[in-house]
Structure 1
Amino acid sequence: MKKAHLFLAMSSLLSIQTFANPFIDDLSMSLTTRNYYLNRDFTDFKPIAGSKDWAQGFIFKINSGYTPGKVGFGLDMQTLTSVKLQGDSKYLGSGLLTTDAVTRERADTASEIGLTGKMKYKNTELKVGTIQPWTPVIFSSPSRLLPQTFRGAIIQSTDVKNLELTAAYIDQVNHRDSTNNEDLSNIGFNGRFQSAKTDHFSMLGAKYNLSPKTQAGIYYGIAKDLYNQAAINFKNTYAIKDDTQLITDLRLWNSRDNGEAKAGKIDNSLITANLGLNHQNHTLTLSTMQNYGDTAHPYLSGGEVLIFIDGWSTDFLNPNERVYSVRYDYDFKNYIPGLKFMTRYTKGKNIHLPHLGGNHLKEDSLDFDLQYTVQTGRLKGLGLRGRYAHYDNNFAQNASFKPANETRINIDYTWKFK
């Protein structure tokens, strides 16, 4: 079946050469290779050692241009392939490789093909098929070997100056460690909600540039019979001096159950505030995240939430959780161009999970990130990245998030053929 899809895609690309040149002339082709090692070593859980996998990923993309005329048509194709280098069934799946839910056996290789038809009128573009939205209410997670993709339609328009409008309808998801489309469902970490499926997710959004340094956005998403979610964000960069900037990033989500409420009651308001001071090569950021309401913050399974406080071993989104974080970034551009360092400490407290130990639980994480991108020569663009996190909590043993030492190493390189 996959071969048939590939043949159909290539036949379509070749047959459309009869159109005028833009369809072919504007075509782009690239291959991204990603070598990824992830080891989440549980420090206080005896039955299972943790999660550990090592894999090689390949992301091959062909993006056509548009046929000539007032309305242009095009076709994109993306193939995703994973190859197991190391993966033992005594460990939980890490999200890098396709893994059997019962035996925990990893697939030696796995591949998938995504096709996207597209249509463009002026600065309004419609895509149908495999899509990767990037909004506060739904986005395609890129944090594993291969990206999460969705099946549906998305339309984006920038015809109005400084304004970007987005609308989407999605009915299936292809997870980062899967090769097939599945029904959408909500996340059920730590037993915060009942796990339930939804027929579709729809959303509307708008982002406006008040100035080159100031942006504001508003979004609304509906997961049928699960929840409604509104999101507002604001970001401003203020120049104190030529080499010193104050960065303000505020985000608010409000979520309520809808329809049949298959996941149970949902009642959450999430507020995040980030204040960063950038001086030359240094950036210091103070952040807080506050969960209000009777439940945790809901989001779709297999994905993440677009928050600045991005825990690798947890999500810091439990009921009533109060989160505080301090982060420091340093860019070595004056000494070793392409080398960057980050460290942060994040603490969450006042967590309300009676079934996992109480109403005043806590968690914290100390993270380190070192990355280098080759700047010149034949290997220009080669990315090397190492991350380490020490995560701890006082939840019960059956919690989804367990105390762990986590190491991630990945090597990325993209060849651009056209």
Structure 2
Amino acid sequence: MKLSSKALLALAISSITATAYAEPASQDFVPTTLAGTSAQSEAKGFIEDFSLGGTTRNWYSHESKYRGGNFEYKKHGQTLTDRNRTNWVQGTIINASSGFTQGTVGVKTELAVYNAVVLDRSKRDIKGGSNRTLADSDGDAVGQWSKLGLANVQFRVSNTTLTAGRQNFSSGIVDTIGNRALPSSFEGVSFNSEEFSNLSFQGGVFDRVSPRTEQSLSKFRSEYGNGTQETDKVSTLGLNYQPLKSLKVSVFGANVKDFWNQYYFGATHELGDAQQLALTTGFNYYKTVDEGKKEMGEIDNDTFSLSLGLAHQAHSLTFSYQQVNGNEYFDYLHETNGIYLANSLTSDFNGPNEKSFQVAYGINMAEYGVPGLKFNVYSARGWDIDGTHYTGNNGRAKFAYDGIQKQDGEKHQEYGVGASYAIQSGALKATTVRATYVEHRGSEFQSDGSIKEFRLVTTVPFNIL
């Protein structure tokens, strides 16, 4: 990968700023040794360590399209349009988890029931539901529904756990996404090994995804494809490593059968003390190439982001540059959070050959006597979007990315402001309330269009046993 001049400049600024202003944080090398303790040796028992609890989330969103954009919905067989869409759902998770049995090989089970109650059931408001409200084929809201969100059995030896069934999984390529009333989950087999002090390994093979707003399991699709391409096998393997006290890196690869092979590298480095000045540098890189039947067309994509964050007491200021090198979108799996790029916001800023830059500011009011209260604001711009060289593979996947060839010099911008509060004590401790307002404006053929959105999300955790 060849870094652009702007990326190199950002790296230079990072080094200069660290030298000039930040007191050095510990840069000590962390030796790799066997873990000091065995988690399985401390197992309390299948019943003895049983827990029952969960969360309930009130999720509200109101969107408005402008510059001629409209949502569509059907009424009495007619297709109607409206610039507004509202979704309001109460999502509740009840999770029952046993402890690990004692002995050399520990066994554990996990079961979680997901339930959604739709609070706004107007067909005109929800506009077919999308991935926000579950709707039937006529566009009517399914008022209340439930499913097994998690259902798995786990086996543990020492500090290595094997999980089989419906589960959560988190990596830079395959990651559970939880930005709706309920999260997604995956069906398959995975492992997590933490046998070393600063080095862990993860891997998994999955054949289905449990979407955020669907009752049934689905095959995997891509986020930016036209939805007709599906795959039933995703394999991933990687590691997390901390070579220095101030440096953490992750390396993962994934094979998405007949879609692509994707490789990820991420690194975070910290310097200084936030009471004086702290510097955090983040780098994320993805390499994606077509695989097998090339259902998504011919792909050869290099995408990276570089962020520089400065923190002083309550205040933080972050600059992020992101670049896509490829004639197609930087794409990832639908119903996952497999995009660890700095400028993945309401828009992912991932158009073909796109460059983007973001400035973000945050303030933590704990420094002013109000712990749990935070505010943030950001502005991001993307430019040079060019999909005119996209050719697909001259077969049935030629138009996997609809409309991409019309994107010639497209650009867009996004602004956002948010506030969050986490209750610090009492019966509602750890309850969070988050309000955000985002405005996105795109040129004629930019894929996200022009839209404004307000969200209000309240999440309440609870324990039963």
Whether these two folds match at TM > 0.5 is yes
1:96·1:146 contact (CA, 8 Å) conserved in 2? no
Partner of 1:109 in structure 2?
Answer: 144
Q: Distance in 2 between matches of 1:410 and 1:224?
A: 36
Q: Deviations over 1:111-160 (max 9, x none)?
A: 10131100000000011111111111111111111001110111000102
Q: Which moved more, 1:180-189 or 1:130-139?
A: 180-189
Establish whether residue 159 from structure 1 lines up as the match of residue 195 from structure 2.
yes
2:168·2:186 contact (CA, 8 Å) conserved in 1? yes
Q: Deviations over 1:334-356 (max 9, x none)?
A: 22111000110011111124546
Q: Distance in 2 between matches of 1:376 and 1:68?
A: 34
> Given the superposition, is the C-alpha separation of residues 126 and 274 from structure 1 closer, same or farther in structure 2, using an over 3 Å criterion?
same
Give the AA of the match of 1:296: Y
2:275·2:312 contact (CA, 8 Å) conserved in 1? no
Q: Deviations over 1:207-250 (max 9, x none)?
A: 10113321011100000010000001111111157532100100
Partner of 2:341 in structure 1?
Answer: 307
1:279 paired residue among 299, 312, 315: 312
Which one has a larger percent strand, Structure 1 or Structure 2?
1
Establish whether residue 60 from structure 1 lines up as the match of residue 94 from structure 2.
yes
1:171·1:200 contact (CA, 8 Å) conserved in 2? yes
Partner of 1:75 in structure 2?
Answer: 109
2:304·2:341 contact (CA, 8 Å) conserved in 1? no
Partner of 2:154 in structure 1?
Answer: 118
Give the AA of the match of 2:230: K
Q: For structure 1, which runs of at least 5 residues remain unmatched after alignment?
A: 1-19
Partner of 1:407 in structure 2?
Answer: 454
Q: Deviations over 1:12-32 (max 9, x none)?
A: xxxxxxxx9611121222120
Q: Which moved more, 1:235-244 or 1:217-226?
A: 235-244
Q: How does 1:205-354 map to 2 (within 5 A)?
A: 205-239=238-272, 242-304=275-337, 305-312=339-346, 314-333=347-366, 334-354=368-388
Helix, strand or coil: the match of 2:110? strand
> Given the superposition, is the C-alpha separation of residues 303 and 49 from structure 1 closer, same or farther in structure 2, using an over 3 Å criterion?
farther
Give the AA of the match of 1:105: D
2:55 paired residue among 21, 32, 49: 32
Establish whether residue 129 from structure 1 lines up as the match of residue 165 from structure 2.
yes
> Percent sequence identity over matched residues?
25
Q: Deviations over 1:270-315 (max 9, x none)?
A: 1110100011000100001100022211211223312232312x22
Give the AA of the match of 1:239: G
Q: For structure 2, which runs of at least 5 residues remain unmatched after alignment?
A: 1-42, 71-80, 389-402
> Given the superposition, is the C-alpha separation of residues 104 and 315 from structure 1 closer, same or farther in structure 2, using an over 3 Å criterion?
farther
Partner of 2:76 in structure 1?
Answer: none
Partner of 2:421 in structure 1?
Answer: 372
> Given the superposition, is the C-alpha separation of residues 83 and 267 from structure 1 closer, same or farther in structure 2, using an over 3 Å criterion?
same
Q: Distance in 1 between matches of 2:190 and 2:131?
A: 26
Q: Distance in 2 between matches of 1:161 and 1:221?
A: 25
1:52·1:94 contact (CA, 8 Å) conserved in 2? no
Establish whether residue 391 from structure 1 lines up as the match of residue 440 from structure 2.
yes
Shift in Å at residue 94 of structure 1?
4.8
Helix, strand or coil: the match of 1:186? coil
1:200·1:223 contact (CA, 8 Å) conserved in 2? yes
Give the TM-score normalised by structure 1.
0.90
CA RMSD between the two structures: 1.7
Shift in Å at residue 89 of structure 1?
2.4
Partner of 1:201 in structure 2?
Answer: 234
> Given the superposition, is the C-alpha separation of residues 50 and 174 from structure 1 closer, same or farther in structure 2, using an over 3 Å criterion?
farther
Helix, strand or coil: the match of 1:263? coil
Q: Distance in 1 between matches of 2:250 and 2:166?
A: 25
